[in-house]
Each structure stands twice: as structure tokens, then as C-alpha cells.
Amino acid sequence: MCRKELVADSTAADNESVIGDECHIISGQINGPRHDIVFPVDQIDAIDNLILLCKVHHKIIDDQCETYTVGLLQSLKSNHEQWVRTALEQSTHEGIRIRQVTENIPSHLVRLMTGQDLLTILSNAHGYQFEHDDPKSETETNLIASFLQEAQDYGELSADLEAGDRVQTAYRLSLLLNELEEGGFWAFGSREVRKLEGGVETPSDFTISILRIVRSTNSDIVKVDLEISDEKI
């Protein structure tokens, strides 16, 4: 029923913290959810009568006890425990990994001329691969760092952008590209679809946003003249 993370990781100073609720399947309170007068009192807090849930699901099962009966909760508990066992077994044998697909590796990166170009590269990416030429001053360092950080921030927000937000975001990204060019740098980019494998889920696409910031004088830049005939417009 509940597959949210219910245990916070330990820190250098403290142990793990259980942030979920221990919920009783059969309540020990007379007017409590699913109370059963014949249920042994000494079994109220037994592990078989407890289920770990987030606070939202805890409230749901207690408020809707006619729907979430003893039998249903016991079944949910059993199914969840089996899911955990399966997940642990699979994670032991096969870890999660991101695999490159040869035919999906971009042969080249294209120069990003507008904010819309950049937003297209960033939108709905699962991960980012950023590279840049070495800065030669603190000013260049700050310029590149600010550009890449804002680019990543907008990429992570892209799924929640409404139509108007996208127009404003594209305009802001255009300004960033202009600032970059004034500083002597160009932005190149592409997208690459990799495969997320392992764990308990079936393999799925994992899209990477690729950005490379280079000096406008970089010898790796290859200029290509693209002639588009009227038939292809």
C-alpha cells in the first residue's frame, strides 16, 4: 500500500530514524479501528498486528476501517513484505546502472543560439552531462558556473512550467546565452537517451541533457554550411 521512504538514513552522529507510523491492524482501544474484544491483549503490540505506513495512509486506514478491514490489511502487509524481500534479493544480484546505447550517442553537438534551443535540450531530462573549457580568471569561473547552474535549475523545473512560464524561461535563457557570448564563450548541446537497468523495475529510457561550454576560438568547433532546399522547408 505504502511505498514511500519511511526510514531516514543514519548520519555520522546519529542512527537511522523511523519517520513512518507503526499502525495497529486491530486496535487495542474499545472504540478504536477494527477493535476485536476476543483478540488477545498481549498480542496488540505484536509484530503481526503492526504495519508501517506514512502518516497519510495511517489516517486513511483508521478513518475508513470499514473498507480497510483486518483481512485486507493483513493481505496488504503480506504483499508488501514480499515486495521488500523481492526488491532486496534483486538489488543484491543486480544493482541499478545507467547504460549508454551506442546508436544513441550524439555524433556532434550543435551550437545553441536561442533560449528555446537551450530549453529544448534541458526539458524533462533525467540527468545532466556538463563540460566546459578551463576558465582563466575568476570572472570566467563565475560566468560559466552561473550559466550551468541556472541551466540545470531550469531543466529540473521544466516539467512544471506552464506555457507562459516557458516563454519567460526561454527569454531568460537567451539572456544567459548572450552573457556567455559576451564573455567569449559559446554553448553547444544535444540529448542522449541511455538505458536505466537493474533493480526491480523493467529497463527504461534515461535521457541525458548534454551541454558543453567552449571558447568561441576553440579549435574543436567545426563550421558546417547547411543548405535547405525549398522542398524541405
Q: Are residues 102 and 178 in the same domain?
A: yes
Q: What is the structure's pLDDT at 229?
A: 40
The pLDDT tens digits for 79-116 are 777 777 766 666 555 678 889 999 999 999 999 999 99
Is the pLDDT at 4 greater than 70? The verdict is no
Cα 148 from Cα 30, distance rounded (Å) = 60
Is residue 2 domain-resident? no
| Residues 6 or more apart whose Cβ sits within 8 Å of residue 184 | 140, 215, 216, 217
Q: Are residues 66 and 112 in the same domain?
A: no
Q: Are residues 104 and 205 in the same domain?
A: yes
Q: Where in the sequence is the domain holding 144, given as residue range(s)?
A: 97-215
Bridge partner residues of 205 (DSSP): 195
Q: What is the structure's pLDDT at 46?
A: 92
The pLDDT tens digits for 27-83 are 999 889 999 999 999 999 999 999 888 877 788 888 888 888 898 888 888 877 777
Domain boundary among 25, 59, 93: 93
Q: pTM for the full model?
A: 0.56
Domain boundary among 93, 127, 162: 93
Residue pair 162/78 in contact (Cβ under 8 Å)? The answer is no
Q: Are residues 74 and 121 in the same domain?
A: no
Q: Are residues 109 and 57 in the same domain?
A: no
Cα 207 from Cα 6, distance rounded (Å) = 28
Q: Are residues 61 and 81 in the same domain?
A: yes
Q: Are residues 119 and 185 in the same domain?
A: yes
Is the pLDDT at 231 greater than 50? The verdict is no
Is residue 163 domain-resident? yes
Q: Are residues 103 and 54 in the same domain?
A: no
Q: Are residues 177 and 112 in the same domain?
A: yes
The three cell numbers locating residue 81: 513484505
Q: Are residues 111 and 209 in the same domain?
A: yes
Residue identified by cell 519517520 is 19
Is residue 1 domain-resident? no
Q: Are residues 86 and 129 in the same domain?
A: no
Cα 233 from Cα 230, distance rounded (Å) = 5
Among 64-68, 94-98, 198-202, 205-209, the range with the most confident prediction by mean pLDDT is 205-209
Our count of domains for the chain comes to 2
Mean pLDDT, the chain, rounded, equals: 85
Q: Are residues 102 and 209 in the same domain?
A: yes
